[in-house]
Amino acid sequence: MPVLYWLQERLPDQGMSMAFRANDLWEGRWTGLLTSMLLHGGWAHVIMNAVGALAFGTPVARLLSRGMGPLAFIALYIVSGVVAAFGYGLCHPGSTSNLVGASGAVFGLIGAATRLMWGHGRVLPLFHPAVLKQAAVWMLVNLAVGLIGLAPGGGGASIAWEAHAFGFLVGMLAVGPLGRWFGPRADLRHGGV
């Protein structure tokens, strides 16, 4: 992410032509769903997303270690980010505001990691009390930060809390099947997915 942002700063338009705008959905321009994840609004934004990806991506990467698991990890990240932008677009039809950042993808990793916490290396059931409590806390914090706008390094930019929620949901739902298909075989014997 830092290397991509360093390159972004050198683009003539700071990369904003690759940002996602909700009205793009209705006008048939879909590339921003993917390219917006490669852009950020400043160094603080980049650092927050990079730290989040490292912290929450680590347990997910450990789980998805078998066979094509590393590719499944990348797919989870990308799909979370694309669905996050798409969901944001559905919530704000016609908006021409730029949406940039990998936060939706990072929240996908957070959602996946939420089902791994307290699971001792296996995926907890979606409706496990610990998963539900932690998911509620994440979404309350996400909503508060999004509505109040207290994110460090936000620089007055709106926070796309809706995109975070969509990404989180993708991660929460996808980690079960992905863990079953690409996780350590011990997960399969314990039936934790």
Type of residue found at 26: W
The domain of 11 spans 1-182
- Which tens digit of pLDDT belongs to each residue from 10-37? 999 999 999 999 999 989 999 999 999 9
- Which tens digit of pLDDT belongs to each residue from 125-164? 999 999 999 999 999 999 988 877 655 545 556 789 999 9
Q: Is residue 193 part of a domain?
A: no
Q: Is residue 192 part of a domain?
A: no
Q: Is residue 26 part of a domain?
A: yes
Q: What is the DSSP string of 77-97?
A: HHHHHHHHHHHHHHHSTT---
Q: Is residue 188 part of a domain?
A: no
Give me the CATH number covering residue 12. 1.20.1540.10
Q: What share of the chain has pLDDT > 90, as a percent?
A: 80
Q: Which residue has the higher pLDDT, 150 or 57?
A: 57
> How many distinct structural domains can be found in the chain?
1
Q: Is residue 190 part of a domain?
A: no
Q: Is residue 189 part of a domain?
A: no
